[in-house]
Chain A
Amino acid sequence: MLEADNLECVRGERRLFAGLGFRLAAGELLYLQGRNGSGKTSLLRMLLGLLPPEHGEIRWHGQPIRKLADDYRADLCYLGHLNAIKEELTPLENLLAAARLADEDLSEDDAIDALEQVGLAGREDLACKYLSQGQKRRVALARLVKEKRPLWILDEPFVALDIAAVDWLAGLISGHLQRGGLAVMTTHQPVSIAAGTVRELRLG
């Protein structure tokens, strides 16, 4: 269970939000909404533990995430608006390297299977610099296919995806929620997620 309590965020000279709190239980999805500059990204970075809040606390299973540190991050999977893939490596190498750094067991077969699911079959061994923007995004999304960690934090995951890919990703998130996972995501476009309880939080 993810809890945020009385969070306050100050960026530069502006107070983006204060007194913000929510609870998110297993199988629940939190939509963060708000116009640009309302603090969505800052809130995500707080939830990731990268940005310490001015006030307030974030707890994971009742423990402050600052204290949990590595243990919290072991439960956390983040997909940012940057793809976090290396241009020099192939999609397969990227997936395997990411899994190794995150301490996950990902076999080569699983990785190839994940790449097939995102429509990159046959491109596993091509350096990512030769892929199109859309294909690079799919490499980044492929990380989620075999992802077992309970908390997903996704920053604008649907941006620049075609309709089929949006449906596929929505299905992936539904499956995650059905398995008892939690997800927090920012999005501009409403996407229907079939399973799980959807909560909304509007900033600004």
Chain B
Amino acid sequence: MKDRFNLYRFASPATFYPLAGKMIPWFAAAAVVFGAAGLWLGMLVAPTDFQQGEGYRIIFIHVPASWMSMFIYLVMAFWAAIGLAFNTRLSGMMTQALAPTGALMAFLSLWTGALWGKPMWGTWWVWDARLTSELILLFLYIGYLALTAAIDDVRRADKAGALLLLVGVVNIPIIYFSVQWWNTLHQGSSVNLAKSSMAVTMLWGMLLMALCFWMYSIAIALARVRTIMLERERHADWARAELAGKQA
């Protein structure tokens, strides 16, 4: 069974732990670099929008956060499927490590959306299809975190959480579609998110910020997964050696 397939070896905590440790500084540094460049482009270089003034600049946070919140859920569902299919220990740890970041991104997206909405639309919240879907996504993250926190047995928590993620990912398109449908029926769609053609610098700024969020998410998830690994495997030889080394 062991060493039959390279992925298994890679997915074993004893190999993954030091590897992740080596990768974290790189991703963190990349996040800082991309973030600095993105903010510089977005805040200083990009032209003021002739309709929305300076307030629009919050989209350099808002849009990447929304993308990440959706993408992280997909990544978690992917790990969940791997975990249920191959029973790998790493999968549960990865979903556990990603979930708080995903929830944070969803929250950030809603919060910045509200901050943007107040000056633009004159209201903190509109029942727009995207906002509503994002809110539901936040609920799904919170549901996952609450479920796994309520189960004491780690393996059961991982499996139940994985199942919930898969059920959620099947439902997301349905929820999104239904909210869209509901929205077009109810609202005269007074709000239109589609903007006039975006300046090239804005696009670059957005792209760099998106990369920054990516790198940040990867770095923080790896750091969290290392902590989870140590906690769960504290009786394994490699983890004991690691902990002993830290204390010395």
Contact = CB atoms under 8 A, between A and B. Distances in A.
Interface of A: 12-13, 55
A202 B153 CA distance: 26
Contacts of A12: 153-154
A55 B235 contact: no
**Chain A interface helix/strand/loop/mixed:** loop
B244 interface: no
Query: Which 5 residue pairs across A and B have the least CB separation, nearest first?
Result: A13-B235, A12-B153, A55-B1, A12-B154, A13-B234
A72 B38 CA distance: 61
Interface in B227-243: 234-235
**Chain B interface helix/strand/loop/mixed:** loop
A13 B231 CA distance: 11
Interface residues of B, number: 5
Contacts of B235: 13
5 contacts: A12-B153, A12-B154, A13-B234, A13-B235, A55-B1
A55 B87 CA distance: 12
A12 B154 CA distance: 7
Nearest to B1: A55
Nearest to A52: B87
Nearest to B235: A13
Contacts of A13: 234-235
Nearest to B154: A12
A196 B1 CA distance: 38
B87 to A, nearest CB: 8
A47 to B, nearest CB: 19
A134 B226 CA distance: 52
